[in-house]
Amino acid sequence: MKSSTIPAVRVAPELREQLESVLQSGESLSQFVEASVREGVNRRLAQAEFVARGLASLESAKRTGQFVSADEVIGKLEKKLADARVRRSTQARPKR
């Protein structure tokens, strides 16, 4: 497959300097930009999939009437947090 180019982007000199200061050894500006664009695309695709799953779940809950209330979810999360705190505090005690 033939490759394509991404349009040039004008940035402030300060941003360019920051960018160049964080490049890894042997990494080019073009490689950094390509990696950043890939990460941005992947993040947006993941966000879109997350929203689609949430909307599908909402529709399913409306259609079936089966759902878990927010209070129930929060209660379960609070219990997990309390249990984790207890485990952490018992593990942190020095053994005698």
Which pLDDT tens digit goes with each residue over 55-73? 999 999 999 999 999 999 9
Specify the pLDDT at position 1: 83
Residue 46 tokens read as 């993941």
pTM of the shown model: 0.67
63 domain residue, yes or no: yes
Beta-carbon contacts of 20 under 8 Å, excluding residues fewer than 6 positions away, are 29
Domain that holds residue 46: 28-92
68 domain residue, yes or no: yes
57 domain residue, yes or no: yes
- Structural domains in the chain (count): 1
What DSSP string describes 61-95?
HHHH-----HHHHHHHHHHHHHHHHHHHHHHHSPP
55 domain residue, yes or no: yes
Which pLDDT tens digit goes with each residue over 15-56? 999 999 999 999 999 999 999 999 999 999 999 999 999 999
Of the candidates 6, 14, 4, 2, the residue with the CA atom closest to the CA atom of residue 33: 6
23 domain residue, yes or no: no
83 domain residue, yes or no: yes
Q: Mark 10-29 as b/e (b = at least 16 C-beta within 10 Å).
A: eeeeeeeeeeeeeeeeeeee
75 domain residue, yes or no: yes
40 domain residue, yes or no: yes
